[in-house]
Amino acid sequence: MEHNTRILIVDDNESIHEDFRKVLVHEENEDHAALDDLEAELFGDAEDSPKNETLDDILKYKVDSALQGQEALAMVDKAAQEGQPYALIFMDVRMPPGWDGIETISRIWLKHPYIEMVLCTAYSDYTWDDIVEKLGSSDKLLFLRKPFDAIAVQQMALSLVKKWNLGEQARNYVKNLEKEVQQRTLQLKELLTELETKNAELANTNDQLKHAALHDALTGLPNRILFHDRLEQAIKLATRNRTQFAVAMMDLNGFKEINDQRGHLSGDYVLKTVADRIQKTLRDSDTVARLGGDEFAFVLPTVARESPEIVLEKIMSAFVEPIVMDSNGEKINVGASIGITLYPDHGTDVDTLIGRADAAMYTAKRNGSGACMYRDSTGEAAAG
């Protein structure tokens, strides 16, 4: 904003307006002797005294007049709306029949608190205490006693207009700074939101990668890595609590023929259907995994020694109903061979339990018995 030199004179006496204009308004071709005198009074006469290079510009005041307080408020409002506010108002105290100067200042400051004010008063007007009581103590209010001194008016105009402009610069600086802070804060919030989104996407991607690393892509069941981890955890828990659990290995009977005769898509459909059925028969604490091909493995916690048959029956129930092929509605009967071992009776480590359950499964497959419990008394598997 360029230097603001707008001044408003508010007085019900029109001759007072002319007096102010004679003091404040100078024609372009007017002798600047009076200005030089004022400048000398303000800055000194020494040749090396600092000079304000824009003094002429500062003293080119734009002076307007209002005869009543209501008119003054309307002019101040309009000037502010047009973006050309008044920097200084010389306000008379007595302005019958409307508002007096104090009432007018009070109303103007309610909406325009930064305007500099000079209250022009005679000794018979309000006392200082009366004025402070109504307007409060403010550094934007000065008093000019009547009759006026031209130099005093010029000094007040020069200093208060300059003060208003410096204050406006400071206010604009703060406003721009606040705006910049808001913009930076908004940018930071946007960056934080973007970062949170990226972190969520990264976490989701990591979860997907972790899931893919530990689960079978076709059936969604735990893979060999996760199965071994679950089995190790089951061993630790059973050792600490001195409990028993079962490990089972299962192959599908005739699965190779299904793949060879009907194709891999049909084979995949059979595997997914078997996986879904088995999961529905087991508890949440049980683990069923696909180790590869048509090979499945189980960890079945808290299984009593005398109840493996119940576990086997639950697993085998998944094969009672034929599988209806999704492509053509053909029904395929699929069977399974299962071998089962018990911890700690048949082994106390991962490899032993899996190896003996696998051996029992092949015995069941060889004998066509469906299921086989490992027998550690002879070291061989026997058909169940």
- Same domain as 126, residue 273: no
Higher pLDDT, 37 or 139: 139
C-alpha distances (whole Å) from 271 to each of 107, 174, 293, 320 are: 86, 71, 9, 15
Average pLDDT, integer, range 8-31: 84
Q: Determine the residue type at 17.
A: H
- Same domain as 261, residue 154: no
Average pLDDT, integer, range 156-183: 94
- CATH code, domain with 155: 3.40.50.2300
- Same domain as 148, residue 245: no
- Note the pLDDT of residue 375: 74
In a domain, residue 59? The reply is yes
- Note the pLDDT of residue 51: 45
Domain range for 324: 224-383
- Same domain as 306, residue 246: yes
pLDDT band at 312 (very low <50, low <70, confident <90, very high): confident
Give dist(CA 310, CA 307) in Å, integer: 5
In a domain, residue 211? The reply is no
Task: Tell whether the model's pLDDT for residue 60 goes beyond 70.
Answer: yes
Give dist(CA 270, CA 250) in Å, integer: 15
371 beta partners: 338
- Same domain as 132, residue 33: yes
Average pLDDT, integer, range 276-293: 92
End-to-end CA distance of the chain: 98
Considering only CA atoms, which of 321, 225, 308 is closest in space to residue 274? 321
Task: Tell whether the model's pLDDT for residue 101 goes beyond 60.
Answer: yes
- Same domain as 267, residue 168: no
Considering only CA atoms, which of 266, 268, 253 is closest in space to residue 220? 268
In a domain, residue 216? The reply is no
- Same domain as 147, residue 22: yes
Per the structure, the count of domains in the chain is 2
pLDDT band at 304 (very low <50, low <70, confident <90, very high): low
- Of 25-29, 99-103, 240-244, 332-336, the one with minimum mean pLDDT is 25-29
C-alpha distances (whole Å) from 247 to each of 110, 188, 344 are: 85, 55, 11
382 beta partners: 373
- Same domain as 230, residue 157: no
In a domain, residue 210? The reply is no
Do residues 349 and 235 make contact, with C-beta atoms less than 8 angstroms apart?
Answer: yes
Give percent above pLDDT 90 in the chain.
67
Higher pLDDT, 307 or 292: 292
- Does residue 237 sit in helix, strand or coil? helix
- Does residue 4 sit in helix, strand or coil? coil
pLDDT in tens, 104-157: 999 999 999 999 999 998 766 677 788 888 888 888 999 898 888 999 999 999
- Of 220-229, 293-302, 307-316, 338-347, the one with minimum mean pLDDT is 307-316
Average pLDDT, integer, range 315-333: 87
- Note the pLDDT of residue 56: 54
In a domain, residue 219? The reply is no
In a domain, residue 204? The reply is no
In a domain, residue 32? The reply is yes
- Same domain as 228, residue 168: no
- Same domain as 240, residue 124: no
CA dihedral in degrees (302, 307, 308, 309; nearest 10)?
Answer: -150
C-alpha distances (whole Å) from 205 to each of 193, 220, 226 are: 18, 17, 19
In a domain, residue 201? The reply is no
- Note the pLDDT of residue 381: 43
Report the mean per-residue pLDDT for the chain.
Answer: 87
Phi, psi of 338 (to 5 degrees): -130, 135
Do residues 251 and 264 make contact, with C-beta atoms less than 8 angstroms apart?
Answer: no
- Note the pLDDT of residue 79: 97
Phi, psi of 343 (to 5 degrees): -95, 135
Give dist(CA 145, CA 293) in Å, integer: 107
- Same domain as 129, residue 266: no
Quick count: other Cβ atoms within 10 Å of Cβ 380? 12
- Same domain as 110, residue 32: yes
Phi, psi of 119 (to 5 degrees): -90, 115
pLDDT band at 46 (very low <50, low <70, confident <90, very high): very low
Average pLDDT, integer, range 254-276: 93
- Note the pLDDT of residue 382: 42
- Note the pLDDT of residue 53: 43
- Note the pLDDT of residue 55: 55
DSSP state letters, 171-201: HHHHHHHHHHHHHHHHHHHHHHHHHHHHHHH
Rg (Cα) of the chain, in Å, rounded?
49
- Of 50-64, 246-260, 262-276, the one with minimum mean pLDDT is 50-64
Q: Cα 370 from chain centroid?
A: 59
Q: Determine the residue type at 381.
A: A
Q: Determine the residue type at 289.
A: A
- CATH code, domain with 247: 3.30.70.270
Give dist(CA 255, CA 267) in Å, integer: 7
Do residues 280 and 269 make contact, with C-beta atoms less than 8 angstroms apart?
Answer: no
pLDDT in tens, 329-379: 889 999 999 999 999 999 999 999 999 999 999 999 888 878 888 875 555
